[in-house]
Amino acid sequence: MTSLSALKEKIVRLIEINGPLSISDYMALCLFDPDHGYYTTREPFGASGDFITAPEISQMFGELVAVWLLAAWQANGRPFPVTLAEIGPGRGTLMKDMLRVLGRLDPEFSVTARVAMIEPSPRLTKIQKATLGEAVGPVEWHASIDALTDGPLLIVGNEFFDAIPIRQYLKASGRWVERAVGFDDDGNLVFAAKPGAPDPSLLPPDAVTALEGAIVELAPARSALMEQIAARIAAKGGAALFFDYGASRPAVGDTLQALSRHAYADPLVEPGMADLTAHVDFAALGEAAKMHGLDVHLLTQGEFLLGMGLLERAGQLGTNVDQPTRKRLQGEVERLAGTDGMGTLFKALAAVPRGMRLPPFSRSD
């Protein structure tokens, strides 16, 4: 057997005791193991990390999200008190940019809103506190949304749902079985199968004609969290806005991927050393929110940002600056909203009280 990292050794022991691990359990261990998990031990964000998120690309992203959240608060009747929360806040860059803009646009909101960061990682919490500093006013940190103060909730998340573990099912001998992780005689982690069939009603339409070896993905944990958020908004008011990458319609296919040092990696090699994600099924998230009576709107990230005034904001920032700065701003626009950047693959999903009309979604309905 080859030499094992601490987390790989732990995974192998679990497999020896309990049999192959579901993809969901494997992802959870790789990302969130308290001693060896990716998010608990590594610095994933930025040029020196493994990937760069939209808030790290440009301040304009957070500024436009702040404008949308302020409009949502106004459409709710300007309730006080209100909680402004970010779930999965990374290094805190998005919240820092939002609070700066909100303080300028509406000091009353900025002074009275409760600001909450939903972050289970102590290491990331420390980084977020350093990013935000003391200039932005009091900020609360919570491990889950369960601890949020009661009342209206404005919540945003960027590249959050993609890291919530999924389950995969494999079509083998004409039936669906759960895809899992085992190990071979050399101690290498390998994909395996274990008993367990998915709920047929949750399978994508093309699963009926799927070929042998096809894979489908279901994400009950993602839907459950969306339901929890939607129930809060339905009962108390507010709005939710999430950005992530994925498809607007469910389909057969394997989207589990690992990212290390800004390049794709094998998800079964060096567990805990790479980010593991899977594409988000926005249709499933939307259905979870609709179950609680909310209206759901979906645009590409490019459509959202351009509709909120990305080009105009870039023009403002590009006034009376040198050519390199203007070129940098143009590059940021392309990365955030262009079809060759994040503009098409990434989506913006809004869940709001029934009948609430907010740009840019209202312009597309």
Ordered DSSP codes for 179-232: EEEEE-TTS-EEEEEES----GGGS-GGGTTPPTT-EEEE-HHHHHHHHHHHHH
Domain count, the chain: 2
Strand partners for 350: 241, 297
- Residue 188 Ramachandran class (φ > 0 left, ψ -120 to 50 alpha, else beta): beta
Same domain, 180 and 84: no
pLDDT at 268 over 60: yes
From the CB of residue 32, how many other CB atoms can be counted at a distance below 10 Å? Answer: 17
197 vs 291, residue with greater confidence: 291
Q: Which domain holds residue 210?
A: 6-37+165-218
Per-residue confidence (pLDDT) for residue 61, from 0 to 100: 98
Q: Which of 151, 186, 218 is the last residue of a domain?
A: 218
Both 187 and 234 in a single domain?
Answer: no
- The arithmetic mean of pLDDT across residues 270-281, rounded, is 94
Same domain, residue pair 146 and 89: yes
Q: What is the pLDDT of residues 37-49, one digit of tens each?
A: 998 887 666 555 5
Asked if residue 195 and residue 238 are part of one domain, the reply reads no
Domain check: are 101 and 173 in the same one?
no
For the chain, how long is the longest CA-to-CA vector? Answer: 66
pLDDT at 134: 72
| CB contact set of 304 (below 8 Å; sequence gap of 6+) | 243, 348, 360
d(CA 160, CA 143): 14
Question: pTM of the predicted model, to two decimals?
Answer: 0.94
Segment (H or E) for 247:
strand 238-247
Is residue 163 over pLDDT 80? Answer: yes
- Please report the pLDDT score of residue 3 as a whole number: 43
* Average pLDDT along the chain: 93
User: How many degrees, rounded to 5, is the angle at CA 92 between CA 89 and CA 95?
Assistant: 85
